[in-house]
Every structure is written in structure tokens, then in C-alpha cells.
Structure 1
Amino acid sequence: MREEGEGPGAVAARLTGRAVVSQRRLTGEVTEVALDGGPVIVKEAGSARAARAEAAGLGWLADARAVRVPVVHGLDQRWLVTGCVPEGPPSAAAAVRFGRELAGLHAAGAPAFGAPPPDGAAEAYIGLAPMRNVPGSDWPRWYAEHRVLPYLRQAVDRGIVLRDETVVVERVCERLADLAGPSEVPARLHGDLWSGNVLWGADGHVWLIDPAAHGGHRETDLAMLQLFGCPHLTEVLDGYQDTTPLAAGWRQRVGLHQLFPLLVHAVLFGRPYAEQALGTARRLLAEAGH
């Protein structure tokens, strides 16, 4: 059990059985702890549910044997201890390799859209926002009901989106079957693939951290990667396309897949992201002639 007042170093020692040499805070929740035998990352997940969800996601991604993720050393009711990735500079070669590896991750598949990792629960997280993993077989319906609309409702409840503004997003959801493009089988997604969760390792490889892993549409991971920018993005996409080409029209669908993370960010961080989500929805309808 966690001792009262226990800090990251003590947590790392308890969960790994190794002696602490030093520690340094990276963010408010994340500490790098140097242990006898090598460094680890200690993250204050905040709850047992959050720690279990992240650990299960990392394990599921690792099981695909396609992308690199830190090993999980231990977890408890509040903390998660993982391997530490020494970082290096981004490179075009690593980006192409990452694109190919991401295609391999997606191809590993999932039982259904919305399926959680085998050891994960339906009640998970994307960043700091709760996220429910409810399986479905029809991607447009599932994406509307379990990804876009729940966060739109939360944004309205918090006064971030006005009720009369919701119609533009609701219209996109009504037309998702027409906007979604060719049907796809469920892919194994990282689920929160913004550039901050993409680490460029000193070993010349890309490592992925902090997943919100679930079964989904592979274009969603790629759209999030484009939403907040990524070094050598062109090379990442080239590597992906060389391995598993995307369906025709995928560039026009990027905004559709960005609606979900934009609304999550609106709930977490406020009105600017809501305005971006509403603008994206308007653009999607205009391009579709609606």
C-alpha cells in the first residue's frame, strides 16, 4: 500500500525493489527517478483506474510487436512506474520507420470499434478526460455516439459551447455515413497520438507514451498526429503509405477525425478549441455540399 506522504522516489523503490540514486521532476505529475540499475519514470496517475488503463494500453500496444513503448515496472492505487526513454533529435529516417511501425500497430487490429485493451476497462481516459470504451461494429454510428457527441454535451453543460451552436456538429454526425469514406476494419489505436506522446529516442527510434488505446479507425491516429504538429510529419505519412496505403480521399477526412480530440480539448481547456471544432464541422459540411 501507498504510505502517507510517499513521494515518487519511494514509490519507485517500493514497486521495483531497487535503491534510489536521485530524482528530478519533469512535470507536475511525472518524475524521472534514477535507480540502482537505471532510470525509470514515475507518474502520479491520480487513481487506480487511470493507472490500470494506461498500463493496459501500453501492454496492448507492445503485444502488437510493431511500435516501441516503455515497459511497465509496476503500478498501484495512484502511481505508475515505467521505463525511461533517453531522448535524441528527430530525424527523417526515424520518421519513415515510425510511419511503417504505426501501420503495423494499426494492422494488429482490435475486436471492435471502441474495444478496450484485453486487460483494460470500459471506463478509461484520454489525457485528463474520462473516456468510455463501448464496442460497436459500425464506425460512423460508434464515432458519433461514443466519441463526438459525449464531449459536445459536456462542452454545452460547462458553458463552453452554446446550445444553438451544437447543430453544426450534430449535422456532421447525422451525415457521418456519407463523410466517413470506405469502410475499415477496427484498428489498434494509440488513441491520443499528439506530438507530446511521441518521443524521439536517442536510439534512433520513435517511442510512444500515454496511450488512450482502443479499437478505432486508423485515420483517427493520423489525424491527431497532424492536429498539433509533428516533426518530419511528411516522412511519417510516407512511411505509413508505403506500408498500408490509406483509402482515397483521406486528406479530406482529416477534419472529421479531428472533431473528437478538438472537443476533448474544448472540455479540458476551453473555448478556443470549441471554436476550432465548430469551424471544422462547418468546413466539413460546406465541402460536402450541405
Structure 2
Amino acid sequence: MPSPEAAHFVKTLAAAPPGYFAWEAAGLRWLAAAAGARVVDVVRADTDHLVLQRLTVDTPSRPAAEAFGRDLARTHTAGTPAYGSGPAGWDGDGWLGPSIDLLPLRLGAYERWGEMYAELRLLPLAHEGVRRGALTVDDLALVDRLGDRLRGAAYDTGEPPARLHGDLWAGKVIWTADGVVLIDPAAHGGHREADLAMLQLFGSPRLPTVLAAYDEVAPLVDGWQERVLLHQLHPLLLHAVVFGGGYVGQAMRGVQHYL
């Protein structure tokens, strides 16, 4: 007879750090509790794998894009206790990055976004980049200068912390016959513009429609387009640390843009 799990997707990862699957399951359940954008159902979370709802991919449609934009706005506005906080019930840091080289996602509790972004996102990656030889000490000094600006609230918008997917590039947005379903989060509390910036970093189907529908439900703060690159600095630095190459120059040009 077929395995009971044959109708599901079993996610494994040979090099997963201890607790990784519990982290992902906690994030999926926390996002689902927002009653906004749909996320893949967690059937079971074990120490060495996840059993998830199996999804069937369909063609992206305009109605699905509109619904996704509206639903993502509702996920974000569900909120979280602080900038940098993890999913409900999760203790310690999380993880983010490619499966071959997962990096810690630092978590904490900050009242202001800029301070959190400097201390938990940009600077830890810059230090890791120097340690690995991907970045120079001069690069680190530039990131530190931007960190000072962020701590001084140079780019804060005064909005409350949002409930983020945290790794929302197109590969995590699954278009099905029943609409968009999100997978593989690095869920945490942050600035809502971060998820939108991640969608724009590598492109995503029907993105203008998604953004317009989002803005109808939760209007974006003036000047958000000028902050897109700022929010992309975190994934760009992560790519610079892991992959090097052109990502280093792209990330550092972005840092210099905001100095």
C-alpha cells in the first residue's frame, strides 16, 4: 500500500542544523495564524524532516495576483511584538540562506526598525563576510557607517513591526489553481517594505498587480520606492557572503547609496 505520506511533500535537508525544521514549522504556523497570505500546511514536523501539504503549480493569473497582494498586506498588518522578534513560541535565533550554506538569522526585540536592521541584519553579515574573505575591512567600515545612520533613525518610517515571511523571493511564491501559497519562510518581525523589496530583487510574476493590490489594503508610506534598495541590502549582503562574485559590488554600491 502507498505510504500515508505519499499525498504529502516530505522536506529533508542533509546539512540542516539542529532545530531547523522546528524553526520553519513555527514560522509557517505563525504566518498562517495571521489569516492573510496562504502558506503551505504543516502536516508534521520531526527533528530531521517536515511533512507538508503537496502543491500543484499553475499559471499566475491577474485575480490570483490581486488576491495575493491584498492577503500579504493582511499578513503584515497582523503585526508582531517587536522588530526582530521570532515566531510565536520560538526561542533563539533562526536561519536564512541557501540550503547548502544556511546562516544564522539573528533575532531580538527592538523598538525601532533602523536599530534592528543595523545590529541584527547588516552588521552580522558584514562581519561574516570579512571572516570568510568575501568582504574587506573597508567594506565593513562602510556598513558600519550606514549602521550609524540607521541607528539614528535616518530611514525609519514610524510604522509598527510587521509579520514578515522574511525570504520572499519568487521561488517561495507558489502559484496554484487556488491562488498563491507561500513556502520556506524565515519568519520574523520587521519592516513590511522588506518583503516587498525581496519580491522585487529577482523579479516575480505579475508584480505590479501584486503591489497595487497591496497598496489598496495597506497604503505604503511616501518614498517607499526610494527605500527598496535599502531593504534589499540584507539579501544582497547574504549573497555576497555565500556566493561572492558580482554580489559584493552590488551590495556595496547599495550601501554607499545610502551614506
Q: Fold-level match, TM-score > 0.5?
A: yes
Alpha-carbon displacement from aligned partner over 1:264-285 (angstroms, at most 9, x marks no partner): 1222222322211101112223
Runs of 5+ unmatched residues, structure 1: 1-17, 22-32, 286-290
1:179·1:253 contact (CA, 8 Å) conserved in 2? no
Partner of 1:206: 180
Conserved 8 A contact 2:167-2:198: yes
Q: Offset at 1:178?
A: 4.8
Q: CA deviation at 1:168?
A: 2.4
- SS of 2:249's partner is helix
Aligned pair 1:282/2:256, yes or no? Answer: yes
**Partner secondary structure for residue 234 of structure 1:** helix
Paired with 2:153 and 2:161, the residues of 1 have a C-alpha distance of: 18
Choose from 141, 164, 167 the match for 1:192.
167
Task: From 11, 26, 44, give the equivalent of 1:43.
Answer: 11
For 1:94, the aligned partner's letter is: A
Q: What does 1:131-146 align with in structure 2 at a 5 Å threshold? A: 131-146=105-120
Larger Rg: 1
Residue by residue over 1:116-171, the C-alpha shift from the partner in whole angstroms, topping out at 9 and shown as x without a partner, is 11122322111322212111112111110011100010011100011122232222
- Take 2:139 and 2:106, find their aligned partners in 1: how far apart are those partners? 24
Q: TM-score w.r.t. structure 1 length?
A: 0.83
Q: Which amino acid aligns with 2:219?
A: P
Q: CA deviation at 1:246?
A: 0.7
Q: Is the CA contact (8 Å cut-off) linking 2:80 and 2:162 kept in structure 1?
A: yes
Q: CA deviation at 1:179?
A: 3.5
Aligned to 1:120: 90
User: What CA distance in whole angstroms lies between the structure 2 residues aligned with 1:252 and 1:150?
Assistant: 24
Q: Could you say which residue in structure 2 is the equivalent of 1:19?
A: 2
Give the number of equivalent residue pairs: 252
Structure 1 contact 67–208 (Cα < 8 Å) conserved: yes
Contact 1:181 1:249 in 2 (8 A): no
Matched, 1:156 2:168: no
Q: 89, 96, 102: which one pairs with 2:59?
A: 89
- What is the TM-score normalised by the length of structure 2? 0.93
Coordinate RMSD, CA, aligned: 1.6
Provide the secondary structure at the position in 1 that maps to 2:158: coil
Larger RCO: Structure 1 or Structure 2 (Cα < 8 Å, ≥ 6 residues apart)?
A: 2
1:254 match: 228
Secondary structure at the counterpart of residue 19 of structure 2 = helix
| Structure with the largest fraction of strand | 1
- The CA deviation string for residues 240-283 of structure 1, in whole angstroms up to 9 with x for no partner, is 10110110000001111111111112222223222111011122
Q: Distance in 2 between matches of 1:55 and 1:187?
A: 19
- Mark the runs of 5 or more structure 2 residues left unpaired by the alignment: none
How many Å separate the matches in 2 of 1:164 and 1:156?
10
User: Which residue is equivalent to 1:12?
Assistant: none
Worse-superposed segment, 275-284 or 43-52: 43-52
Asked if 1:229 is matched to 2:203, the reply is yes
- Structure 2 CA distance for partners of 1:47 and 1:168, relative to 1, 3 Å: closer
